[in-house]
Amino acid sequence: MAGLAVNVDHVATLREARKAAYPDPVAAAAIVEMAGADGVVVHLREDRRHIKDRDLKILKETVKSKLILEMAPTPEMIGTALEIKPDLVTFVPEKRTEVTTEGGMNLSLNQESIADAIETLKCAHIPVSIFIDPDPEQIRMAHKISAALVEIHTGGFCDAETPQQQKRAFLNIVNAAKLAKKLGLGVNAGHGLCYHTIKAFTGIHDIDEYSIGHSIISRAVMVGLDRAVRDMAALVRAL
């Protein structure tokens, strides 16, 4: 049965819209865990646009399930991960001008430095996942540099404009997940998934966990965070 990791970044985004002390992503993390999430995800960006160092430190002390830290593989962030020791680090590409992460990492461009970062974290007993597009070559490179897991970027499927594009993108995800499993990698998936698109993954058993944030936080505005998480958790567990 697949798990659900809930990203609470957008709670912090709302807080930062007014530079207020609320809503608190730490409090949100407690609610999503009580509602059945299998993990809590936060992305500590280099510009600290939403999640802050304070949030991460408190979450490390309070999260009871699993704390997943998304971050760029930079020296500063590696140092932060070594200090905090999250349950899982996910390397993601990061651009200052983007609103949200726009695609997976291109391992062919910086394979050696990422391999070094993975080894550093592995020595501290911190497993590393890499957020990548559903590309067989990228999957093979992730395995080559000793990543423990991959998180497959599902945005191409969720944002497809035609049924043909959606079908092709979905097939790419399925094939990437199968290849990753064959190579012995853990497989997560995320980006753009919502209460409708998640249903397409029924019967796809090569994906261990889905990372979902925006659609859950958006629904929470209307129905409350507890119900929003419970509704998504029920869909994920029925896959």
- Per-residue pLDDT tens over the stretch 29-58: 999 999 999 999 999 999 999 999 999 999
Average pLDDT, the chain: 95
pLDDT at 101: 56
pLDDT above 90 (res 99): no
User: Given 10, 153, 191, 209, which residue is catalytic?
Assistant: 191
pLDDT at 97: 54
Tell me the sheet residues that pair with 123: none
Residue 73's domain spans which residues?
Answer: 3-237
Number of folded domains in the chain? 1
User: Given 70, 94, 151, 209, which residue is catalytic?
Assistant: 70
pLDDT at 104: 87
| pTM reported for the whole predicted model | 0.95
191 an active-site residue?
yes
At residue 113, the 3 state secondary structure works out as helix
pLDDT at 80: 98
User: Given 10, 33, 43, 209, which residue is catalytic?
Assistant: 43
CATH value at residue 73:
3.20.20.70
pLDDT above 80 (res 96): no
For range 111-115, the mean pLDDT: 93
pLDDT above 60 (res 212): yes
For range 10-26, the mean pLDDT: 97
pLDDT at 36: 98
By the 8 A CB rule, do 189 and 177 touch? yes
Per residue in 227-237, pLDDT tens?
999 999 999 99
pLDDT at 109: 87
pLDDT at 161: 93
At residue 149, the 3 state secondary structure works out as strand
pLDDT above 60 (res 186): yes
pLDDT above 80 (res 62): yes
Q: What is the dihedral of CA 153, 224, 67, 145, to 10 degrees?
A: 0
Identity (one letter) of the amino acid at 210? Y
Query: Percent of the chain beyond pLDDT 90?
Result: 93
By the 8 A CB rule, do 41 and 213 touch? yes
Within its chain, how far is the Cα of 26 from the centroid?
A: 17
**Dist CA 40 CA 56 (whole Å):** 11
**Dist CA 94 CA 73 (whole Å):** 9
| Nearest partner of 232 among 218, 128, 91, judged by Cα | 218
Q: Which two tokens stand for residue 224?
A: 């409350």
Per residue in 127-177, pLDDT tens?
999 999 999 999 999 999 999 999 999 999 999 999 999 999 999 999 999
pLDDT at 9: 97
pLDDT above 90 (res 110): no
pLDDT at 103: 76
